[in-house]
Amino acid sequence: PPLSVADIRKSFLDFFESKGHTVVPSSPLVPGNDPTLMFTNSGMVQFKDVFLGTDKRPYVRAASVQACLRAGGKHNDLENVGYTARHHTFFEMLGNWSFGDYFKRESIEWGWELLTQVYGLPPEKLTATVYHEDDEAYDIWTKVIGLPPERVIRINDNKGGKYKSDNFWMMADTGPCGPCSEIFYDHGPHIPGGPPGSPDEDGDRFIEIWNHVFMQFEMHEDGSVTPLPAPCVDTGMGLERLAAILQHVHSNYEIDLFERLIQAASEATGCADLAHPSLKVIADHIRATAFLVSDGVIPSNEGRGYVQRRIIRRAIRHGYKLGQKKPFFHKLVPVLVELMGAAYPRLQAEGRRVEEVLKAEEERFFETLANGMEILDDALIAGRKELPGHVAFKLHDTYGFPLDLTQDVCRERGVTVDVAGFDEAMAAQKAAGRAAGKFKMDKAVDYSGGANVFTGYDELSSASKIIAIYQDGVP
Ligand code: ATP
Ligand code: MG
Ligand code: MG
Ligand code: MG
């Protein structure tokens, strides 16, 4: 039988343990060592200070299965959920690291060995990318591994500038950086999408499974790079994407774990159509929000808590769309704990509290949801292509609809939202409030970001400033 998600976690760690790696547990979704980062969004976050040289570990090789969240920061996949086969908000990243120990050759060779020999993936379905200047990685793929040159793709500086590339990784504007090599799996010509580097690479035919980052330079203020004395390796592979391949399905949402969650979402919402996109969204969002609560994030109107609130309310709205008029979302928690509690002891321990927190937030939002939806439906009159900003703002201000929730509804109906108008309404209300002396405001607040659903904000400090201008959405 195909490997389950649980089998894959174990086999990955066993493999790297056999190659001399120390297995390190997943760190919390709220990074303990980095107040500027909203959420842990990759396996390397807990090792950041090791790469910067300010932390030392008793090992030079490590491996982990890391809980990650890509919502609300610079990496934001919230808008992809329900639309692509490969994106979640919460996902698990399998990773291995070298802290100044092995480098490109071992990383690529072991990666290949694991995929083709341990997991038995057919080599002809795998394609690799390298940074266009990285001849060393190119030669390892073509000469050591023996991949045909047409399946080793050099990726240029495709992000508008030297070293701005999908295949060049930077920790920040300055500091450790270097080329990456990524491995893609071809799900077959019946699925739309082109190979990496092609115009339709964002399709779901060639799915990126494993990123190997080779930290070999230090980036300076002037944009020049110098070699690092002890190059490092940082890799990350999406557990759900690998599981999809090993379980012979195309979408992450069809793997064993999601099959169970979607079944639970179907029971909780009464939607019998197991392929309904809203069930995928609910199944995705229960993981994100339950793990957030278990890591100490409760819904609120600022910072991490507001991202948490946005994800919960989005899930609730999808349930509402399926006919739910009463709290249903929290009912998925026991199933999630059953599925993931053994691998994540904090989730296991906090299960009851998670359920209570989610239920309370549901009760709160259900008070205004139906009325808000009515206003939104009325505003979306036939032929209207853009929702006026003042409507989106009213929904936000009076009915507790985060802007991205309104955008999610509108997107389903082929309508955009006038975000500039939303910002103006927000600014006008703030000015009026200030004139009336009703509340104190931070003068440094930047309105422009308020409606941008946090995209581009990785810093909690700026995100919470922006969020500070939000008034409580529920009267
Ligand atoms: P993509 O291009 O598909 O969005 P990425 O390049 O943003 O992926 P990386 O930052 O390189 O992803 O992360 C390493 C690995 O983590 C990816 O190769 C993929 O397997 C997995 N991964 C990244 N984002 C997600 C996500 N939102 N959901 C599930 N898995 C993900
Ligand atoms: Mg991405
Ligand atoms: Mg990518
Ligand atoms: Mg990548």
DSSP string, 15-59: HHHHTTPEE-PPPPSS-SS-TT-SS--SGGGGGHHHHHTS---S-
The pLDDT assigned to 469 comes to 29
- Rounded-to-integer distance, Cα 26 and Cα 17, Å: 16
Q: pLDDT tens digits, the chain, 475 residues: what are they?
A: 899 999 999 999 999 999 999 999 999 999 987 888 999 999 999 999 999 999 999 999 999 999 999 998 778 999 999 999 999 999 999 999 999 999 999 999 999 999 999 999 999 999 999 999 999 999 999 999 999 999 999 999 999 999 999 999 999 999 999 999 999 999 999 999 999 999 999 999 999 999 999 999 999 999 999 999 999 999 999 999 999 999 999 999 999 999 999 999 999 999 999 999 999 999 999 999 999 999 999 999 999 999 999 999 999 999 999 999 999 999 999 999 999 999 999 999 999 999 999 999 999 999 999 999 999 999 999 889 999 999 999 999 999 999 999 999 999 999 999 999 999 999 999 999 888 875 554 433 333 333 333 333 333 333 333 333 232 332 2
Helix (H) or strand (E) holding 249: none
The pLDDT assigned to 438 comes to 57
Helices 403-412, 389-399: inter-axial angle, 10-degree rounding: 130
CA distances, 201 to each of 182, 296, 437 (Å): 13, 37, 53
* Nearest residue (CA) to ligand 1, atom 26: 87
Q: Which of 93, 213, 281 to mutate to test the pocket of ligand 1 (most atoms within 8 A of CB)?
A: 93
- Rounded-to-integer distance, Cα 169 and Cα 165, Å: 8
Ligand nearest to the CA of 204: 1
Ligand 1 atom at minimal distance to the Cα of residue 208: 18
Q: Is the whole-model pTM more than 0.80?
A: yes
Phi and psi (nearest 5°) for 202? Answer: -80, -5
* Nearest residue (CA) to ligand 1, atom 14: 236
132 DSSP 8-state letter: T
374-376-382-383 Cα dihedral, nearest 10 degrees: 180
Beta strands in 187-340 (DSSP E): 206-219, 225-238
Ligand 2: distance of its center to the CA of 201 in Å? 12
| Residue ranges lining ligand 1, Cβ < 6 Å | 42, 70, 77, 86-88, 91, 93, 208-211, 236-238, 240-241
Instruction: List the structure tokens of 46.
Output: 């807990």
* Nearest residue (CA) to ligand 1, atom 19: 238
Residues 6+ apart with CB under 8 A from 358: 289, 290, 293, 312, 329, 330, 333
- Rounded-to-integer distance, Cα 69 and Cα 28, Å: 10
Residues 6+ apart with CB under 8 A from 8: 94, 239, 242, 243, 246
The pLDDT assigned to 434 comes to 85
At residue 381, the 3 state secondary structure works out as coil
Number of H helices, E strands in the chain: 14, 11
Instruction: List the structure tokens of 149.
Output: 């040159």
Contact criterion met (CB below 8 Å) for 243 and 207? no
ipTM of the complex: 0.99
